[in-house]
């Protein structure tokens, strides 16, 4: 008996994650509602209960799903359900995108913990390298199963903050780069910085309105500060002395919205007219617990300039909130580059800088707010309806019609329920997919018990956007944030737009010119490998990284294309550089990265790397080429770096290595002498939150990237770069058309 008890305690320790979540479902009319359920992830099995189970031996789950290498987890951001905000994430089957499960957590830290744990559980089931592994996309989806488990004690509440990755260095970098900021003063406990001039970028783009940043330490968690900064309700008046009134004009997705802010005139110089701002706001949470909030001015038909207000132009701005001291404190960076629209700007240059510095003083106000509240303050009005979607009249009419049908169907449903009660009860656990966790019968018949009402959220309805939205964490890296050259504007217009140029004849591998000096616009070159950090030979013991000293392959060509459809398998097209070498029968092998940005116009950035060494001489590369899609997705890594560009773009892209396949879909194409990776930016709707932001800055960016295969075993270390690239001032209008 004692041994059995020890085994039970051992199995207790094996459970990975548990807690209350909201199951988000849609009824037959496309209206979403939520159900509160208790979830337990154990032994790669995700179990769902109506109440906290005292023992899995005595209580069977309502549903159970197997988490394996076919599963992807996406971060959908925050949404409003019944005037309460939830942080949504979706599990979906990579081989069947309609097979998905949408869940909601009450805090961003809780959602991040679930996302991380579920992703790690899926990676545990990832096949090891080898030739005889069946690709995930081709194998049968695993059904729901119940695995026998020993009993366990009642679960307790979980401290989500302690589970988040707050012990890592904030915004850790895998790129060696000089700082783009220079300190010029200190005021009210805040260090003040100005953006340094890299190749006259600041003078060229900011038009005399320099980017200024304030940095301070706040005694609060990064999540609490994030909630406070995001709030546009009455609580903002407790710290934001610049703020008078604000509201959300349009909610684009869980990470992006259009907001309108009216500024108070009390803090402005005497005689200066009232100002307002119409901004596109994007936020995300990094894996280390850092929150990034980015703003820039836009135009929107629903919020035209008002009489009595002068609309200022925020060229770039935002917050970076990074946890320090075990998450008890946070470093807050607040940056602004703003044109205050003085009628004679050359007379008021010093005044504009003075006003911007005063506005940055809000960081000190945040610090004092949390100090006065002992670090426990959080804007109570954060979720008081500000996230409610702006519904167009046709949508409202459609919902009214749906309500009429709902009443008619309800009577039929009650009759059907009575008949079902007479029939034998079915097993609560069904074999199948995530769809069965969203069982259609629950739409009307899954009424909660009386004991459940205390925990139950009333069915709240929002217009369905039931689409798969792959995750946009740091795993997506540069690819997730390049630029949406065909962004769905949804009513707003960025203040920078590109022009269209006539098409020319396409020769694959020759549409983007090479210029190693980087003096020619819309060109490519190889980046310095020593700029990037890779895992050392002792990484598994000390997590030490070293400078890369070279690349395995040589970059030989690049394409910058546009089309009315996604262009796949460029390496297999006749007349291209890859097929020319294949016709010669040489030993050259090509590795192609094809970054695809779909939309009304699809853009493709294809990078061609070549090696003369036989693939068999590089075991890790050989395993990658011959491995299945799940193995490749768990290994293909990208290190991004914006060497020249604005602060807002640099914050968007970051400098951290990322596993692209864990965030975006990669389609693999192979031939006798090549392997092509088609990275589908369109597989992530959240990507539009940043990529459309970059559109207005694209011509002013120098983008550097490095590609590698992640080394996970001692015999695979140290890592090596497959190749690097440097893209100089890409121009959407110069993409070659292949209609």
Mind listing the pLDDT tens digit for each residue in 48-90? Answer: 999 888 776 657 788 888 888 888 888 999 998 877 889 999 9
Quote the percentage of the chain above a pLDDT of 70.
69
Quote the percentage of the chain above a pLDDT of 90.
48
pLDDT (0 to 100) of residue 282: 92
DSSP-based three-state secondary structure for 359: helix
Mean pLDDT of the chain: 78
pLDDT exceeds 90 at position 178: no
User: What mean pLDDT do residues 114-138 have?
Assistant: 63
Between residues 558 and 120, the one the model is more confident about:
558
pLDDT exceeds 50 at position 1: no
- 685 band by pLDDT with thresholds 50, 70 and 90: low
pLDDT exceeds 80 at position 687: no
User: What mean pLDDT do residues 181-202 have?
Assistant: 82
Long-range pairs, 12-18, Cβ under 8 A, ≥24: 12/152, 12/153, 14/42, 14/43, 15/40, 15/41, 15/42, 15/152, 16/41, 16/42, 16/117, 16/121, 17/41, 17/113, 17/114, 17/117, 17/118, 18/42, 18/155, 18/158
Q: What is the DSSP annotation of 205-226? A: HHTT---EEEEEEESS-HHHHH
Q: Which of 174-183, 493-502, 615-624 has the lowest mean pLDDT?
A: 493-502
Distance CA 108, CA 378 (A): 14
Distance CA 619, CA 500 (A): 45
- 12 band by pLDDT with thresholds 50, 70 and 90: very low
Query: Between the CA of residue 259 and those of 245, 303, 390, what are the distances in Å?
Result: 11, 9, 12
pLDDT (0 to 100) of residue 244: 95
Between residues 625 and 700, the one the model is more confident about:
625
List, in sequence order, every beta strand (DSSP E) within 420-538: 492-494, 513-514, 523-525, 533-535
Between residues 412 and 137, the one the model is more confident about:
412
Distance CA 98, CA 308 (A): 50
- Count of CB atoms situated within 10 Å of the CB of 715: 7
- Count of CB atoms situated within 10 Å of the CB of 673: 19
Between residues 442 and 726, the one the model is more confident about:
726
- 480 band by pLDDT with thresholds 50, 70 and 90: very low
- 709 band by pLDDT with thresholds 50, 70 and 90: very high
- 378 band by pLDDT with thresholds 50, 70 and 90: low
Alpha helices in 251-375 (DSSP H): 349-360, 362-372
Supply φ then ψ for residue 631, to 5 degrees.
-65, -45
Query: Between the CA of residue 459 and those of 32, 84, 388, 439, what are the distances in Å?
Result: 8, 12, 15, 16
pLDDT exceeds 70 at position 24: yes
pLDDT exceeds 90 at position 433: no
Pair 104, 62: CB distance under 8 Å: no
pLDDT exceeds 90 at position 109: yes
pLDDT exceeds 60 at position 98: yes
- 363 band by pLDDT with thresholds 50, 70 and 90: very high
Longest CA span, the chain: 87
Between residues 7 and 480, the one the model is more confident about:
7
Distance CA 304, CA 249 (A): 11
| Model confidence pLDDT, tens digit, residues 217-258 | 999 999 999 999 999 999 999 999 999 999 999 998 899 999
pLDDT (0 to 100) of residue 686: 53
Q: What is the DSSP annotation of 478-506? A: HHHTS--TT---TTEEES-----------
| Model confidence pLDDT, tens digit, residues 639-658 | 999 999 888 888 888 899 98
Q: Where do you find CATH 2.30.29.30 in the chain?
A: 2-161+429-452
pLDDT exceeds 50 at position 140: no
pLDDT (0 to 100) of residue 497: 46
pLDDT exceeds 70 at position 539: yes
Distance CA 87, CA 62 (A): 23
Q: Where do you find CATH 3.30.530.20 in the chain?
A: 181-372
| Model confidence pLDDT, tens digit, residues 393-405 | 334 344 434 444 4
pLDDT (0 to 100) of residue 436: 55
- What is the dihedral angle through the alpha carbons of 713, 718, 723, 725, rounded to the nearest 10 degrees? 110
User: What mean pLDDT do residues 515-543 have?
Assistant: 95
pLDDT (0 to 100) of residue 192: 97
The arrangement of secondary structure in 2-161+429-452, i.e. its CATH architecture, is Roll (2.30)
User: What mean pLDDT do residues 118-132 have?
Assistant: 65
Supply φ then ψ for residue 650, to 5 degrees.
-60, -40
pLDDT (0 to 100) of residue 691: 58
Residue 175 host element (H or E): none
pLDDT (0 to 100) of residue 409: 46
pLDDT exceeds 50 at position 374: yes
The arrangement of secondary structure in 181-372, i.e. its CATH architecture, is 2-Layer Sandwich (3.30)
User: What mean pLDDT do residues 597-620 have?
Assistant: 92
pLDDT exceeds 50 at position 344: yes
- 434 band by pLDDT with thresholds 50, 70 and 90: low
Enter the pTM of the model.
0.74
Long-range pairs, 197-205, Cβ under 8 A, ≥24: 198/643, 198/644, 199/644, 201/644, 201/645, 201/646, 201/700, 204/700, 205/315, 205/646, 205/697, 205/700
pLDDT (0 to 100) of residue 493: 66
Angular region, 373: left φ>0, alpha ψ -120 to 50, beta rest: alpha
Pair 88, 254: CB distance under 8 Å: yes
């Amino acid at each position: 008996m004692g041994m059995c008890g020890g085994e039970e305690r051992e199995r207790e320790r094996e459970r990975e994650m548990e807690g209350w979540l909201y199951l988000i479902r849609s009824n037959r009319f496309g209206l979403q509602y939520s159900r509160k359920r208790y979830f337990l992830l154990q032994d790669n099995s995700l179990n769902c209960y109506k109440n906290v189970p005292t023992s899995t031996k005595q209580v069977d789950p309502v549903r159970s799903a197997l988490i394996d290498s076919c599963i992807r987890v996406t971060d959908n951001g925050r949404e409003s359900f019944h005037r309460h905000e939830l942080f949504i994430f979706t599990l979906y089957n990579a081989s069947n995108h309609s097979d998905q499960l949408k869940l909601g957590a009450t805090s961003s830290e809780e959602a991040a913990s679930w996302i991380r744990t579920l992703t790690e559980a899926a990676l545990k089931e990832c096949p090891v390298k080898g030739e005889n592994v069946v690709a995930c996309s081709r194998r049968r989806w695993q059904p729901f199963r119940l695995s026998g488990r020993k009993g366990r004690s009642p679960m307790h509440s979980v401290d989500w903050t302690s589970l988040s990755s707050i012990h890592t260095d904030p915004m850790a970098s895998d790129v060696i780069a000089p700082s783009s900021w220079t300190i010029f003063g200190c005021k009210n406990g805040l260090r003040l910085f100005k953006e340094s001039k890299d190749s006259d970028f600041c003078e060229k783009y900011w038009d005399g309105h320099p980017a200024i940043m304030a940095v301070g330490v706040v005694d609060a968690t990064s999540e609490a500060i994030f909630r406070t900064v995001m709030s546009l309700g009455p609580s903002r008046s407790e710290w934001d002395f610049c703020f008078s009134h604000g509201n959300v004009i349009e909610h684009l997705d869980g990470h992006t919205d259009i907001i309108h802010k009216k500024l108070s005139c009390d803090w402005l110089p005497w005689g200066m007219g009232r100002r307002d701002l119409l901004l596109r706001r994007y936020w995300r949470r990094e894996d280390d617990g850092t929150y990034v909030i980015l703003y820039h001015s836009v135009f929107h038909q629903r919020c035209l300039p008002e009489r009595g207000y002068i609309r200022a132009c925020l060229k770039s701005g935002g917050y970076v909130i990074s946890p320090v001291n075990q998450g008890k404190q946070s470093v807050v960076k607040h940056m602004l580059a703003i044109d205050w629209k003085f009628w004679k700007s050359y007379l008021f240059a010093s005044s504009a800088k003075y006003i911007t510095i005063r506005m940055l003083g809000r960081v000190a106000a945040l610090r004092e707010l949390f100090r006065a509240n002992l670090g426990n303050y959080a804007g109570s009005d954060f979720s008081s309806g500000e996230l409610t979607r702006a519904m167009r009249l046709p949508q409202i009419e459609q919902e009214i019609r749906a309500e009429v049908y709902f009443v008619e169907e309800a009577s039929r449903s009650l009759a059907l329920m009575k008949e079902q009660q007479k029939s034998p009860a079915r097993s609560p656990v069904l074999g199948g997919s995530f769809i069965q966790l969203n069982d259609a019968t629950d739409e009307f018949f899954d009424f909660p018990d009386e004991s459940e009402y205390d925990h139950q959220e009333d069915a709240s309805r929002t217009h369905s956007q039931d689409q798969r939205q792959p995750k946009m964490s740091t795993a997506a890296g540069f690819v997730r944030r390049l630029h949406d050259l065909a962004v769905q504007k949804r009513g707003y217009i960025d203040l920078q737009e590109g022009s269209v140029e006539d098409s020319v004849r396409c020769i694959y591998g020759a549409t983007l010119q090479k210029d190693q000096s980087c003096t020619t616009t819309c060109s490519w070159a190889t980046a310095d490998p020593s700029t990037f950090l890779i895992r050392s030979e002792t990484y598994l013991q000390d997590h030490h990284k070293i400078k890369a000293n070279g690349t395995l392959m040589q970059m030989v060509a690049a394409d910058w294309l546009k089309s009315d459809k996604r262009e796949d398998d460029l390496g297999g097209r006749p007349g291209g550089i890859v097929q020319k070498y294949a016709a010669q029968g040489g030993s050259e092998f090509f590795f192609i990265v094809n970054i695809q940005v779909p939309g009304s116009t699809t853009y493709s950035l294809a990078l061609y790397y070549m090696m003369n060494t036989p693939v068999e001489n590089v075991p890790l590369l050989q395993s990658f080429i011959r491995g299945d899609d799940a193995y490749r997705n768990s290994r293909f890594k990208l290190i991004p770096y914006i060497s020249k560009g604005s602060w807002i773009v640099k914050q968007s892209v970051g400098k951290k290595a990322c596993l692209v396949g864990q965030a975006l879909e990669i389609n693999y194409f192979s031939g006798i002498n090549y392997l092509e990776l088609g990275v589908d930016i369109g597989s992530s709707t959240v990507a539009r939150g940043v990529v459309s932001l970059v559109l207005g800055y694209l011509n002013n960016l120098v983008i550097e990237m490095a590609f590698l295969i992640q080394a996970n075993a001692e015999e695979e270390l140290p890592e090596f770069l497959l190749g690097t690239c440097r893209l100089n001032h890409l121009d959407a209008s110069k993409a070659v058309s292949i209609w």
